[in-house]
Amino acid sequence: MGLSEELNIEKDLRDSFITIGVFDGVHLGHKHLAKKLIESAMKNGKSPGIVTFKNHPAAVINPRFQPNFLTSFEAKMDLLKDTGVDFVSAITFDQEVADLTAKDFLGLLKNRLGMKGLVVGPDFQMGKNREADTARLAILGSQLGFDLEVVDVKKNGRNQIRSTMIRSLISNGDVKNASVMLGRKFSLEGSVITGMKRGKSLGFPTANLKTNKDIAMPANGIYATVATIAGDRYPAATSVGTNPTFGGKEQTVETYILDFDKNIYGQSLSISFYEKLRNELTFNSVDNLIAQVKSDIVEVRKLNQSGELQ
């Protein structure tokens, strides 16, 4: 399917105002932009819409680029639709799209989506070799017949809310501040797979999560989390790490769900991260490990009883 076909949407448009981007994580900055888009579209009697990408443009421009997404594509689409826009159009960024000039790409948006307004952030660039910044886009708007609106980047205190900042916080284990910028708890989703079953042998059976390698991963450590299975939420202690006490090498995500004894192998599991409890440690005995795990579980219970895991 070509770009023109992907831009066809199942909706009758009365002309549109559009924003464009990867929107990784659909964080508070993205929601701020979507809110401004909707306000401008409604004021002008147009349909607000979002154009995003099924893949990361950087992966096409730089073959060595390794995606590190804050959400899956499916989750991103759901979050974008939840912003309240009239439509979300997802396109494939391939070499054909990479070679389009900004004028040609915007012309397609005019023809396919009836674009009458473009709403972007101050650092937005597009077109072959990112040739069009906001100054150039203003000129193209005059030529092609659309209005350009530049929206300031939303801040959290002194920090601009950006996907790169959130990714950095997560990689450092600061899931609490990452969640503040996301506007929701950072989470990992996947299916429950069979692990080494060490947790069960120690008296703490864990659910091992199979994650997508392209999804951002928190720093190794133990976290207070909430596990969601079939819509039900449970407090949990989650280990992200390599099990160094047992000489492990591969990073795993293992969750001990408090007061839970159901068989959930093969089921979908979502883990929401609330707080990092401690770094990953290497213990000199199994007894010391068990004592620490018991202490971690006590901390999770305290947080849950205080209402902090709601």
Active-site residue set: 254
Helices (H) and strands (E) in the chain, counts: 11, 13
Write the single-letter amino acid at 294: K
- Exposure on the CB side of residue 98, measured as CA atoms within 13 A: 12
The Cα 87–Cα 76 span in angstroms is 14
Confirm if 117 and 40 have CB atoms less than 8 A apart: yes
For 31-88, the DSSP string reads: HHHHHHHHHHHHHTT-EEEEEEESS-HHHHH-TT----BSS-HHHHHHHHHTTT-SEE
Backbone angles phi, psi at 239, to 5 degrees: -105, 125
In the chain, the N- to C-terminal Cα span, in Å, equals: 43
Hey, what long-range contacts does 303-309 have (CB within 8 A, 24 or more apart)? 303/224, 303/235, 303/274, 303/275, 304/235, 304/258, 308/224, 308/274, 308/275, 309/224, 309/226, 309/235, 309/274
What does the block give as tokens for 199? 């947790």
C-alpha 135/C-alpha 132 separation (Å) is 8
Token digits for 64? 């060595």
- Pairing type for strands 16-20 and 47-53 reads parallel
Tokens of 308: 């902090």
